[in-house]
Chains A and B, each alone.
Chain A
Amino acid sequence: MRVLILQFQKCEHRLPDKFVRQSMLNKHQANSECFFGNAFLADDLFCGLSSETQTSLLAIKQTKRFAKDQLIFAVEQMPCCIYILTTGDAQIFYATELFGRSVKRNEILGLTEAITNLPYEISVKAVSPCIFECVGRDDFNRFLQSEPEVCFRLLQMLGANLQKVYQLFTNQ
């Protein structure tokens, strides 16, 4: 049970971003690559938690295993939980599998969708057998409500990532 927290606190090797087929991309390629690079990492969000907070997080997470080529979630599906990749390789893609990147180790997927309860904007597929730690949407929102420190840290992460996204408009 403690493994999850340890993994969050440890700086894991991060997979390099790459596209499946570069030729698909037009002149905005660099911008889009940059956009998909804005990952939310569990290491950053959940690091240095108090033992009580760790316990409450462990109580609401569950482990899910996915087979190779299995779809973890798809565009337009309503969010049910956040996913954190702990083992294996997965691919994020937008609209077509030709445009996307690898999921980073300990990356949180479906984070903003879980908060807004709006449909997923990306699809994620396992490219090898994967293990994800998952936290249900309602549980995660309750957790944020009860842990102001994590909530404030998330706010800062969102702010910083959003600033990077806005930079892409300037580069258009």
Chain B
Amino acid sequence: MKVLNNFKIQHKCTDCEIPSEGFFCDLQESTLQNLESLKISNVYPRGSVLFIEGQPSNGVYILCQGRVKLSTCSREGKVIILQIADAGEVLGLSAVVSDSVYEATAEVVEPCQVNFIRKADFLRFLQQNADACLSAVKQLSHNYQTAHLQICSLGLSSSVADKLAKLFLGWCNANRHENGNGNGTVRLKISYTHEEIAEMIGTSRETVSRLLKTFRERKLITLKGSDLVIHDKKRLEMMVGI
């Protein structure tokens, strides 16, 4: 097996060695075999662009390894990160199933392996494999809920501090089963830069850095490297009026 950028390229889904909870990772053996014949595997370095916002959709990208940033540009030219996709996610899914343009720009933030499937092949595959179709429904439902929370947070927050607090609470909820200790303290691993956090809530890096300092001073959080500790989730919730 070829090794590149410290990761092993997985050529066959049926022999995949990466433990993943991806939407397309736990399909039936026969469905995975059908998928094998359609996919084209590629490896992309950091900074590569898989597709651009507004480009007609020509297929889906199944992210096997690495991370990809999905961002959109507001009318004012502000970049907003919709999502940082992790291994196991299918990129460009909503555009392909609704036969529209890609809704975001997908940029590789960590070297990744991607399996590309052409639009017509993918739609036929979904119609012929019920378990894959249900997995796609699950991913889109998940994306819909994430987008709903994000748009409500952006649209209804009275301040940037509110938006940042809501972003942290969203991360807490996404990891609710793993990192809570029952007394309100939540530990999270985050691998985002201040710039990326700023783009998630539609503000500047300087504002995020300043707010993180304020949150630390108010003993709401501790941030050391990639370890984020939310000391009292309830206080954070009260702050945003939940």
Bound-state Cα–Cα, A141 to B141, Å: 13
Contact B75 A152, beta carbon cutoff 8 Å: no
Contact A151 B134, beta carbon cutoff 8 Å: yes
In chain A, what residue has the closest Cβ to B202? A172
**Is B192 among interface residues, defined by CB-CB distance under 8 A?**
no
Given known contacts A155-B97, A166-B103, A113 and B145 CB-to-CB distance under 8 angstroms: yes
**Told that A115-B137, A163-B100, A167-B103 touch, could you supply 19 new A-B pairs with CB distance under 8 A?**
A32-B151, A35-B148, A95-B152, A116-B141, A118-B142, A144-B137, A158-B97, A158-B137, A158-B144, A160-B100, A163-B94, A163-B95, A165-B151, A168-B151, A169-B82, A169-B147, A170-B75, A171-B74, A171-B75
| Interface size of A as a range | 35 or more
**Is A99 among interface residues, defined by CB-CB distance under 8 A?**
yes
| A residues with CB within 8 A of B | 26, 28, 31-32, 35, 94-95, 99, 111-113, 115-116, 118-119, 121, 141, 144-146, 148, 151-152, 154-156, 158-163, 165-172
* Best-surrounded residue of A111, A151, A158, A160 (most CB of chain B within 10 A): A158
Q: Which of B54-94 contact A (CB under 8 A)?
A: 72-75, 78, 80, 82, 93-94
**Is B182 among interface residues, defined by CB-CB distance under 8 A?**
no
Chain A residues in 8 Å Cβ range of B114:
none
Contact B80 A155, beta carbon cutoff 8 Å: no
Bound-state Cα–Cα, A120 to B53, Å: 30
Contact A155 B144, beta carbon cutoff 8 Å: no
B148: contacting residue among A121, A151, A171, A172, CB under 8 A: A121
Chain A residues in 8 Å Cβ range of B75:
170-172
CB distance from A61 to the nearest CB of B (A): 19
A160: contacting residue among B72, B98, B134, B241, CB under 8 A: B98
Chain A residues in 8 Å Cβ range of B93:
159
Chain B residues in 8 Å Cβ range of A99:
156
Contact B133 A95, beta carbon cutoff 8 Å: no
Bound-state Cα–Cα, A115 to B23, Å: 13
Bound-state Cα–Cα, A172 to B71, Å: 13
Chain B residues in 8 Å Cβ range of A163:
94-95, 98, 100, 103
Contact B141 A112, beta carbon cutoff 8 Å: yes
In chain B, what residue has the closest Cβ to A33? B155
Query: How many chain-B residues does the 8 Å CB contact rule pick out?
Result: 45
**Is B126 among interface residues, defined by CB-CB distance under 8 A?**
yes
**Is B230 among interface residues, defined by CB-CB distance under 8 A?**
no
* Best-surrounded residue of A148, A152, A159 (most CB of chain B within 10 A): A159
Bound-state Cα–Cα, A35 to B133, Å: 25
Bound-state Cα–Cα, A31 to B148, Å: 12
Chain A residues in 8 Å Cβ range of B5:
none
Bound-state Cα–Cα, A26 to B131, Å: 43
Chain B residues in 8 Å Cβ range of A145:
130-131, 134
In chain A, what residue has the closest Cβ to B149? A121
Chain B residues in 8 Å Cβ range of A35:
148, 151-152, 155
Bound-state Cα–Cα, A93 to B140, Å: 22
Q: Which of B169-214 contact A (CB under 8 A)?
A: 173, 202
**Is B104 among interface residues, defined by CB-CB distance under 8 A?**
yes
Bound-state Cα–Cα, A106 to B180, Å: 39
Given known contacts A35-B148, A144-B134, A170-B72, A158 and B140 CB-to-CB distance under 8 angstroms: yes
Chain A residues in 8 Å Cβ range of B133:
148, 151-152, 155
A and B contact pairs by CB, cutoff 8 A, 16 listed: A32-B156, A35-B148, A118-B145, A119-B173, A141-B134, A148-B130, A155-B136, A158-B141, A159-B93, A159-B140, A162-B143, A163-B98, A166-B82, A169-B82, A169-B147, A170-B73
**Is B242 among interface residues, defined by CB-CB distance under 8 A?**
yes
In chain B, what residue has the closest Cβ to A113? B145
Interface pairs A-B: 9 shortest CB-CB: A28-B155, A159-B98, A159-B97, A166-B103, A112-B141, A158-B140, A115-B141, A159-B94, A162-B94
